[in-house]
Amino acid sequence: MDENMIGDFKILAQNSAKDISEIISESGVEVIAMLSPWVDVGGVGKITLNRLRDHMSASELLSLNRPGKFYDFTRYRPTVHINSGKQVLKVPNTRIFYGSIGEKFYLLVYIKEPHSNAEDLIDSLVSVFTRLGIKRYCRVGSMYDAVPHTRPIRISHTINGSKVGSDSDSESDELIVSAYQGPTTILHQLNDKLMALGIETISLMAHLPQYLQFGSDLMGTACIMRYLCDIYGLPEDLIHRIDGEKQYGEVNSFVSDNHQVAKLIKELELAYDSMIFREEGTSETTENSLMDPQVKGFLEEMADRLDNNFIVDKDEDTKLDM
- Longest Cα–Cα distance of the chain, Å, equals 66
For strands 59-64 and 79-83, give the pairing: unpaired
Select the more confidently predicted residue: 159 or 300: 159
- Judge whether residue 98 has pLDDT over 60: yes
Distance in angstroms (rounded) separating the CA atoms of residues 93 and 12: 13
Contacts by 274-280 with C-beta closer than 8 Å and gap 24+?
Answer: 277/145, 277/146, 277/147, 278/176, 278/179
Q: In whole angstroms, what is the distance from residue 311 CA to residue 308 CA?
A: 6
Q: Which tens digit of pLDDT belongs to each residue from 40-96?
A: 999 999 999 999 999 999 999 999 999 999 999 999 999 999 999 999 999 999 999
Cα gap 109→121, rounded to integer Å: 13
| DSSP codes, 285-299 | HHHHHHH-HHHHHHH
Selected residue with higher pLDDT from 272 and 234: 234
Q: Within a 10 A sphere around the Cβ of 197, how many other Cβ atoms?
A: 10
DSSP state of 12: -
Higher pLDDT, 321 or 256: 256
Residue 165 has pLDDT above 50, yes or no: no
As a residue count, the chain comes to 322
Domains in the chain: ranges and CATH: 5-320 (3.40.50.10900)
The tens digit of pLDDT for each residue in 189-232 reads 999 999 999 999 999 999 999 888 899 999 999 999 999 999 99
Instruction: Give residue 245's pLDDT.
Output: 94
Is the confidence at residue 12, as pLDDT, over 50? yes
Query: What is the C-alpha end-to-end distance of the chain, expressed in Å?
Result: 28
**pTM value?**
0.83
Q: Indicate the range of 66-75, 144-153, 271-280 predicted with least confidence.
A: 271-280
Residue 206 zone, left/alpha/beta (φ > 0; ψ -120 to 50; rest): beta
Give mean pLDDT, residues 282-307.
Answer: 55
* Predicted pLDDT of residue 170: 39
pLDDT of residue 304: 65
- Contacts for 234 with CB less than 8 Å, ≥ 6 apart: 52, 101, 225, 228
For residue 191, give the 3-state DSSP assignment.
Answer: helix
CA–CA separation, 236 vs 160, rounded Å? 26
Pick 173 or 252 by higher pLDDT: 252
